[in-house]
Amino acid sequence: MPLERLLLYLTGAFVLACLGVGLLLVTAGKPDGPRAPTEAASAPPPPPPQEAPTPRQRLEASIAAAPDYAPFLDRLRENFPAEYRSAVDEFATRQGGPAVGGEATVDAFVSEAVRKLRKARGVAAARAEPGPLSKIFEAQRAVLHAIGERDPRLCVAFLYGGAEMSEFSRFAATRRALVADMALAGLEAIVNGGAKQIERPGPTEADFKALETALAARGLSQEVIGALLDGKMPDPPLEDAKMCAAGETYLETLRSLPEPARLRIYGLAVEVMARS
């Protein structure tokens, strides 16, 4: 049935919303040791050895050095201070070993913060107003498009929730603003949904039929539509570039549906993401 087919797809493809950024560990330089004293009697005594920064200090420094993430992290700290502190504490504790490079640290931290927020409060986004709810999927489409331009194979893996973290990390390192926008879109929808508490019914058979018809009207074959909605690639598999473009068409088609049907499907998708 269409509902069962879409749920299969949502549990796979929409995992892209919570993939966030992978973890790239880079060994940082060691702090300078004490200076060697000179032989001159009048030379000042050497300064005391500098203490290595703590994991929390390293994390806070890397956050301060990553302005693209500031809107998301500032909003998270403002609206959910307890969750923000918990994310910082837990991440810093796990990173208590070797020094970690600044950019890798903040990317991994944002990924973890998004995951924790989605698990704890993600269902609230399904009750958001149309604008914030729709923004989640607009941000996802932008990320999917950017990946497709760079690496169609990675795009397909990302579409089906099977991208390796290291591969996605290499992409995210070059498009951090897009990843930050996606994180912020989810957060804003959670905040809005928590305040508005809009109750929406689940999508109907007619909604799914309209989606399938709209996909066909955009030129997608039944083979491609089946691959999207069933979450199963045909044998032999479709070309990566074709499948990646179809995934983007899917998100564009959802956006073109009449608002009531679109929001019902969006709401279901967000709930599936929060529980996946």
Q: Express as a percent the part of the chain with pLDDT over 70.
A: 76
CA distances from 160 to 44, 221, 228 (A): 64, 19, 9
Determine, yes or no, domain membership for 48.
Answer: no
Determine, yes or no, domain membership for 10.
Answer: yes
Q: How far apart are CA 227 and CA 41, in angstroms?
A: 80
Determine, yes or no, domain membership for 34.
Answer: no
Determine, yes or no, domain membership for 44.
Answer: no
Determine, yes or no, domain membership for 125.
Answer: yes
* pLDDT tens profile 68-81: 999 999 999 999 99
Q: How far apart are CA 270 and CA 276, in angstroms?
A: 10
* pLDDT tens profile 213-236: 999 999 999 889 888 877 777 788
- Give, to the nearest 10 degrees, the angle between helix 2-13 and helix 259-275: 50
Domain that holds residue 131: 2-22+55-275
What is the number of structural domains in the chain? Answer: 1
Determine, yes or no, domain membership for 40.
Answer: no
Determine, yes or no, domain membership for 183.
Answer: yes
Q: Which residues of 240-255 are buried (b: 16+ CB within 10 A; e: fewer)?
A: bebbbbbbbbbbbbbe
Q: Which residues of 103-119 are buried (b: 16+ CB within 10 A; e: fewer)?
A: ebbbbbbbbbbbebbbe
- pTM for this structure? 0.77
Determine, yes or no, domain membership for 39.
Answer: no
**Spans of the chain, pLDDT less than 50:** 1-5, 7-41, 97-103
Exposed / middle / buried, residue 256 (Cβ in 10 Å: 0-12, 13-18, 19+): exposed
